[in-house]
Amino acid sequence: MLTRRRFVTASAIAGAGLAAGCAARKNSAWEFLSEKDARTLTAICDQIIPADDFPSASQAGVLTYVDRQLVRHFQRFQKAYIKGLNHANLLSRKRFSLDLAEATPQQKLQIVSAIEQQNPEFFELVRSHTLQGYYGSPRHGGNREGVSWRMLGLSEPPIRGSAQYDLASGSRP
């Protein structure tokens, strides 16, 4: 039977655990992600957009974008990210005895491919957010220094609500 004393004790313990979790995140450079979550997400995002002649997803600020949005517009995805990132590390530890962030590039590819097969909803969520962060406006934290726009050959950043092309002549102003 749940007595008032047991209820109060359980509530106090739960509150202390929540406060400890918040304090741990408070010391992080991230708004939502823990350092471990950020390293795991880096490993996944950099498999989606790896570095080549242009920066990888993480080098272009995609993690900053995702992290900021997880405390704003993507709040509804917080649990999915925590669960998905924990699952990614569990898969990696089962297969390679180390967290995903510490795996070799080939091992990371194997784990991310497994995530795509086993947890397609999470993979698609991260893939979508990675692309948004990489190709979106730098004002949201991703696409650092307009790297994706340069990659696409855009001479100027897209401006929302502004016509970049002279529709009458079919050329840029």
Residue 37 contacts by C-beta under 8 Å, 6 or more apart in sequence? 30, 81, 82, 85
Q: Each residue of 28-43: pLDDT tens digit? A: 789 999 999 999 999 9
Q: pTM of the full predicted structure?
A: 0.76
**Torsion sign across C-alpha atoms 61, 65, 67, 68:** positive
Q: Which two tokens stand for residue 152?
A: 């696409």
What single-letter DSSP state applies at residue 161?
T
Domain boundaries along the sequence of the chain: 29-140
pLDDT at 2: 55
Q: d(Cα 74, Cα 41) in Å, to the nearest integer?
A: 15
Q: Each residue of 110-136: pLDDT tens digit? A: 999 999 999 999 999 999 999 999 999
Average pLDDT per consecutive 10 residues, the chain (173 residues; last block may be shorter): 56 51 61 97 98 95 97 97 98 98 98 97 98 91 90 72 51 47
Nearest to 53 by CA among 157, 154, 147: 147
pLDDT at 140: 86
Q: d(Cα 108, Cα 131) in Å, to the nearest integer?
A: 19
